[in-house]
Amino acid sequence: MEFDVIRGDIAEQNVDALVNAAGTSLRMGSGVADALRRNAGGPINEAAVSKGPIGLGEVAVTDAYELDADRVIHAAVMSHYGDGCATPESVDEATRNALSAAEG
């Protein structure tokens, strides 16, 4: 797989896939999630939440709506339910799963 690392506003990128570091509930709150939600121009938060909750290290894929991407990959690296904390292993798993989803 070939990919580029780009500095800038994630919500303004023209890419195949955007990755959001999400909580297990997939609710899009602050930070990157907020920027994506505000710029998507559609029900991206509702679409994400409807796919959850998911376990740490898992991913869910939604439409990107008006973002200039094919899809948004929500990678669960934080727990919203107190059912465990992110570990280096769960972050590694989320990264691998996000890369796999980006290929598909």
pLDDT by residue for the chain (104 residues), tens digit each? 787 888 999 999 999 999 999 999 999 999 999 999 999 999 999 999 999 999 999 999 999 999 999 999 999 998 866 667 888 999 999 999 999 999 97
What distance lies between CA 27 and its chain's CA centroid?
10
Are 16 and 73 in contact by the 8 Å Cβ rule? The answer is no
Encoded tokens for 87 = 């570990």
Whether residue 23 lies inside any domain: the answer is yes
User: Could you list the residue range(s) of the whole structural domain that residue 99 is in?
Assistant: 15-103
Whether residue 4 lies inside any domain: the answer is no
Return the pLDDT at 82. Answer: 66
Return the pLDDT at 92. Answer: 96
Nearest Cα to 97, choosing from 58, 52, 55? 58
Q: pLDDT digit string (tens) for 72-102?
A: 999 999 886 666 788 899 999 999 999 999 9
Q: Count structural domains, the chain.
A: 1
Whether residue 9 lies inside any domain: the answer is no
Whether residue 98 lies inside any domain: the answer is yes
What residue has token string 């939440």?
49
Whether residue 10 lies inside any domain: the answer is no
Looking at the DSSP assignment, which residues form a beta bridge with residue 59? 75
Tell me the one-letter amino acid at 83: D
